[in-house]
């Protein structure tokens, strides 16, 4: 193939589908909690470690979730396993807090705090929680030194339309394991 054909193919790859257009628009953001919060030892129900709400008007841009990630800040057990969980909320009401300090773009832009809200330790509706990604393992004993982390690259398989939300939590073998958790997303019109 010639150089022009290669360029055309690369342009198609870069702009194909909603993720490609979002990348061109530079509308990628991330959020992560900052406080160490104890993992649950049962399936989450109405408590979220973090909730991300799309406050855009109906018909506007959706949040196409790129990845979900967590980081263990404190370990209290000799060995424990953990996994991330998510819950998608339909027609969710605006969270009571919008913690803008949890946000970032990765490219130096200001986060769009006018339409996407991030709340920590929110009470949410149990719309069905699901584990995601591969389980992680912790082996540090009783330490405040940060340890394991996990990531699930969902690559757009989860979508948060306007006026909907996503909640995240961590389930582990013991509540002595404390985590932060977050997600990255592309804001794009679907």
Structural domain boundaries enclosing 105: 27-188
Mean pLDDT of the chain: 83
10 belongs to a structural domain: no
107 belongs to a structural domain: yes
Percentage of the chain exceeding pLDDT 70: 78
59 belongs to a structural domain: yes
If one counts the domains in the chain, the total is: 1
DSSP string, 92-143: PPPPS---GGGEE-SSSPPP-TTTEEEEES-B-----EEEEEEEEEE---SB
pLDDT in tens, 162-174: 999 999 999 998 8
Residue 98, class by beta-carbon neighbours within 10 Å (0-12 exposed, 13-18 middle, 19+ buried)? Answer: middle
pLDDT at 80: 79
Q: Which residue has the higher pLDDT, 125 or 146?
A: 125
Which spans in the chain are helix H? 3-15, 17-25
pLDDT at 151: 94
Res 24 pLDDT > 60: no
109 belongs to a structural domain: yes
pLDDT at 62: 93
12 belongs to a structural domain: no
Q: Please compute the mean of the pLDDT values over residues 166-186 and round it to a whole number.
A: 92
CA distance 113 to 90: 20
**pTM (global) more than 0.75:** yes
Res 190 pLDDT > 90: no
177 belongs to a structural domain: yes
At residue 80, the 3 state secondary structure works out as strand
Res 65 pLDDT > 70: yes
17 belongs to a structural domain: no
CATH code for the domain in which residue 38 is found: 2.60.120
20 belongs to a structural domain: no
């Amino acid at each position: 193939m010639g150089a022009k054909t290669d360029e055309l193919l690369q342009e198609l790859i870069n702009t194909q589908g909603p993720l490609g257009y979002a990348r061109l628009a530079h509308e990628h953001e991330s959020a992560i909690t900052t406080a160490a919060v104890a993992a649950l030892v049962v399936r989450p129900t109405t408590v979220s470690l973090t909730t991300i709400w799309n406050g855009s008007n109906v018909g506007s841009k959706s949040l196409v979730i790129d990845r979900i990630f967590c980081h263990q800040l404190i370990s209290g057990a000799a060995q424990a396993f953990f996994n991330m969980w998510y819950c998608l909320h339909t027609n969710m009401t605006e969270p009571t807090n919008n913690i803008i300090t949890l946000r970032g773009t990765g490219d130096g832009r200001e986060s769009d705090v006018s339409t996407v809200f991030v709340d920590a330790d929110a009470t949410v509706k149990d719309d069905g929680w699901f584990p995601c990604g591969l389980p992680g393992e912790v082996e540090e004993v009783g330490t405040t030194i940060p340890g394991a982390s996990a990531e699930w690259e969902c690559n757009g398989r989860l979508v948060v339309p306007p006026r909907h939300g996503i909640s995240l939590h961590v389930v582990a073998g013991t509540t002595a394991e404390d985590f932060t958790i977050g997600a990255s997303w592309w804001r794009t019109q679907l």
